A and B are shown apart, each in its own frame.
Chain A
Amino acid sequence: MEFEPVIGLEVHVQLNTKSKLFCSCATVFGAEPNTQVCPVCLGHPGVLPVMNRKALEYAVLCGLALNCSISRFSKFDRKNYFYPDLPKNYQVSQFDKPFCYNGFVTIHVDGKDKRIGVTRAHLEEDAGKLLHSDAGAGSGVDFNRTGIPLLEIVSEPDISSPEEAYAYLTALKSIIGYLDISDCNMEEGSLRCDANVSIRPKGQKEFGVKAEIKNMNSFRGVLKAVSYEIDRQTEVLLCGGKVVQETRLWDADKNMTFSMRSKEEAHDYRYFPEPDLVPVVLTEANIEEIRKYLPELPSARMKRFVMDYGITEYDAEVLTGDKKLADYYEDCTRLFNDYKSISNWIQSELLRELNDRKLPVTASSVCPKKLTDMLRLIQNGTISGKIAKTVFAQMFETGKDADTIIKEKGLVQISDPDELKKIIADVIDSNGSIVDDYKGGKEKSFMFLVGQVMKATKGKANPQVVNQMLKDAIG
């Protein structure tokens, strides 16, 4: 029997507001434990939450970017469960009236577009972090994270493969990056993802029994965990077994999922409306005001890049996936008119240097001005494309501009025929047989001669000039 997977993702995105969702504490990542806390986020007696309007705006903005409907009337609810990282022992979340609902994200897989439905996106407060001592002296809680706004984005079970799950996450991260409302860093926990995975015989309408997979800490991890889970469930069914509804944890070291709790052990969260907060009413005008902040989104920008700069869809997609990279590209296009060359240099040299050092494009020591200045030097023949790669590496390393490096290292291209005359004559003299081969019709031999000239000039000779002079000399 052939099975098809049915996958839905629940993504938690930490919003990068300056202060927490219900108090004015800071939200800086990596601060000393319990230095960004106050009576409100520590759940002391008598405290009351006050909603951060910025977080609401971010949530609505994200909803608009995900093509969601925005609730005119929403409210917060209390989700009750006991855990030491949850100071009030309830989480303020949204149950039946989320801010955003009924949207979609478009993904591109195997050259095709597919819409993945977004069921809802709602705001809630983050929990703290448990810190366990190695010495077994007990556990501590860091409440710095407590109360940081989280946007939970729940997809429809429209995802049909691990690759689509990966593409969905990538698209979501790209959109949120454009909105600049979250760092979306899975390693730092500013983006978290749980996956609901089930399989069913191909063609069957009803869903199979699902497992909820938690504890993935990278997009790759999600891809692997979902793949593993599909295989596991397939094997269970093929062996005549039954998939049980449960929560499973992904173990990235063992590359396996493990059962954490069954449905019977599932929490009864006893949601009820949060009486300490008033319902949030959004008017059409409120929503339109927020819509003004909606930037050009990645898919639209991709199409525009193809139109405006004549680059391929593939190149445009790479460049527009990260807003900052796309901004970088566009800054370059304002300074230099060979758009394809800019695209090539960004995708090959710049991205390689950045990825090697795990740096964002904003941290690049080669700014658009420096890059395009260098490209202009290639265009006007000052340096060869080959030399330029060395120059670029130096630029990235030292932060110096191309001119300085070329002068310091004496890398200026030799285009002056007088300077090349003697070298070419020497090469012809000492490679008599090869010159004969060429004359005898062996085209390849010509390239060898060019190579010898380049070698003698340490790569600085202008290849076009060398070509012409060689041909003239051999006749």
Chain B
Amino acid sequence: MDIFNQTACQLIKMLQSKEITSRQLVESVIDRIGAVDSKINAFVYVDNTAALEKADEIDARRANGEPLGALAGIPVALKDNLLYCRRPVTCASNILKGYYSSYNATVVEKLIGADAVIIGVANMDEFAMGSSCETSCYGPSRNPWNQDCITGGSSGGSAAAVAADETILALGSDTGGSIRQPSALCGVVGMKPTYGRVSRYGLVAFASSLDQIGPITKSVADNALLLQVISGYDHRDSTSINEDVPDYSASLGESIKGLKIGIPKEYFLYGMDSDIETATKKAIETFQQLGAQPVEISLPYTEYAIATYYIIATAEASANLARFDGVRYGNRAKDADNLIDMYCKTKSQGFGAEVKRRILLGTYVLSSGYYDAYYKKAQKVRTLIRDDFSKAFQKVDCIVAPTSPTSAFKIGEKIDDPLTMYLSDIFTISLNLAGLPGISIPCGFSKDSLPIGLQIIGKPFDESTILRAAYAFEQNTVFHTQKPNLV
């Protein structure tokens, strides 16, 4: 038995019973990274020395019988858009190469407070803009199940690292599906919490009203564990909500008998792969066998979700990314003649094509004369999409849908076709617009042996219910026990 391929919950028991030490665990994970990351490219930065020092510190404290945090000694990977003081953070963009964080993100503070071992920083789409991890300035991460395929994105590095056992836990961020879609494509568990559940302080903003940090893990129980650590109100994030954080692990084993599961009919109209459709329908049957009650629901505004999303997200992004101008930090173009020239060259050289595309789109939709037709209208549709879900949730306890319309596609296959690429998020994007929590769990494999994910969507701040449903499904299926063959 290897140490690195265990779940966090298993490892915590092993550490507590002193079956293993944190040093052994961290060494095992470091060795694993050394063995497979050249194939996967999940990490952009690994700090072995710091990780081992932390592991030793935890071991010493454990030996002294000192109290330890919930994640004591467990390796966690950060996405490259989370600030960790005095460490590099780049958002996988040339414009920030060489930039070091000057403070800790709230989630990083919480990980440190829980005695986690931050093992490194995972690859992503540049500024979280992408669904394939191909827009990274470090090159794409590769899917552990088939290295010719994408990992999904934007948290592709985080999902791939978990799937390839290069870390035990990982954090991602999800603006339109960036945690759930790569989790689905890599066969791991990924959750986007309710907007406001987790502080965004220290997450480099892509689209402020949609971004949310969440856990990517090997199991549902691990997901509950990590969510517990990062959740909660933060006075530094005005949009975080002061709601009690329940004990997510406590209700995991409870029965889902009688749980009403909504099946949105619109989600089956948009040409998903037949493998996906089959796996999703089978998953619904499984739920039924477990005593849950499927109910057909309607989310009529679904078809407008992608358009709405790409207006709101790009509008916010166009302002959020304006600060990367080479004036105060980051990379500044050296050959500029004057201020305007410096702005133009810095941004031209620093940003990749997809980021530029979205900044331009966002600038356009906010421009005078276009604002009402685009941005304002999109905000109205956003409200309608939110209302869709509110109505549905009067009838059901959670909603089940595919996470992604396809399994992992080939690297390079869609990168030149942004509109097709944007469709990758068709099932995930509405949740961000509505602010709802959603979890993706493994629910099968395609004909090409690539993982398929099932998405369970919950009411606002009802992560407990979707975790309970996900756990019940996981405990009664075997998909999560499959591992990619990497060596």
- Chain A residues in contact with chain B, CB under 8 A? 39, 42-51, 78, 80, 82, 84, 87-90, 141, 268, 270-272, 275-278
B447 within 8 A of A: no
29 A-B contacts (beta carbon < 8 Å): A42-B328, A44-B103, A45-B83, A45-B89, A45-B99, A45-B204, A45-B324, A46-B81, A46-B202, A46-B204, A47-B201, A47-B202, A48-B201, A48-B236, A82-B325, A84-B339, A87-B328, A88-B323, A89-B319, A89-B325, A90-B322, A141-B327, A268-B367, A270-B319, A272-B315, A272-B375, A275-B207, A275-B239, A277-B238
| B91, A50: Cβ atoms closer than 8 Å | no
Which B315-338 residues have C-beta < 8 A from chain A? 315-316, 318-319, 322-325, 327-329
| A78, B327: Cβ atoms closer than 8 Å | no
Residue of B nearest to A83 (CB): B339
B205 within 8 A of A: yes
Which residues from chain B contact A47 at a C-beta distance below 8 Å?
Answer: 201-202
Tally A-B pairs: CB < 8 A. Answer: 95
B254 within 8 A of A: no
A48 to B323, CA, bound (A): 13
A80 to B202, CA, bound (A): 22
Proximity bits, B213-242, A CB within 8 Å = 1, else 0:
000000000000000000000011111000
- Chain B residues in contact with chain A, CB under 8 A? 81-83, 89, 91, 96, 99, 101-103, 105, 200-205, 207-209, 235-239, 315-316, 318-319, 322-325, 327-329, 339, 343, 363, 366-368, 371, 375
Known contacts A82-B343, A141-B327, A270-B363, A45 near B236 by CB under 8 Å: no
Q: Which of B201, B202, B208, B322 lies at the interface centre, i.e. has the most chain A CB atoms within 10 A of its CB?
A: B322
Q: How far is the CB of B112 from chain A (nearest CB, A)?
A: 16
Residue of A nearest to B342 (CB): A84
Q: How far is the CB of B211 from chain A (nearest CB, A)?
A: 9
| B238, A48: Cβ atoms closer than 8 Å | yes
Q: How far is the CB of B52 from chain A (nearest CB, A)?
A: 27
Residue of A nearest to B208 (CB): A275
Which residues from chain B contact A84 at a C-beta distance below 8 Å?
Answer: 325, 327, 339
Interface of chain B, main secondary structure:
loop
| B366, A39: Cβ atoms closer than 8 Å | no
| A80, B238: Cβ atoms closer than 8 Å | no
Which residues from chain B contact A44 at a C-beta distance below 8 Å?
Answer: 102-103, 329
Q: How far is the CB of A52 from chain B (nearest CB, A)?
A: 12
A225 to B366, CA, bound (A): 35
Looking at the complex, which one of A89, A268, A276 makes contact with B323 (CB distance below 8 Å)?
A89
Looking at the complex, which one of B201, B318, B339, B367 makes contact with A46 (CB distance below 8 Å)?
B201
Which residues from chain A contact B327 at a C-beta distance below 8 Å?
Answer: 84, 87, 141
Q: How far is the CB of B326 from chain A (nearest CB, A)?
A: 10
Which residues from chain B contact A278 at a C-beta distance below 8 Å?
Answer: 238-239
| A78, B319: Cβ atoms closer than 8 Å | yes
Known contacts A80-B319, A89-B325, A272-B315, A45 near B91 by CB under 8 Å: yes
A275 to B318, CA, bound (A): 13
| A46, B83: Cβ atoms closer than 8 Å | yes
Residue of B nearest to A82 (CB): B343
| B325, A268: Cβ atoms closer than 8 Å | no
Q: Which of B91, B99, B368 lies at the interface centre, i.e. has the most chain A CB atoms within 10 A of its CB?
A: B368
A42 to B368, CA, bound (A): 28
Residue of A nearest to B102 (CB): A39
Which residues from chain B contact A39 at a C-beta distance below 8 Å?
Answer: 102-103
Q: How far is the CB of A42 from chain B (nearest CB, A)?
A: 6
Which residues from chain B contact A49 at a C-beta distance below 8 Å?
Answer: 238
A277 to B322, CA, bound (A): 18
Which residues from chain A contact B235 at a C-beta distance below 8 Å?
Answer: 50
| B329, A80: Cβ atoms closer than 8 Å | no
Which residues from chain A contact B324 at a C-beta distance below 8 Å?
Answer: 45
A223 to B375, CA, bound (A): 42
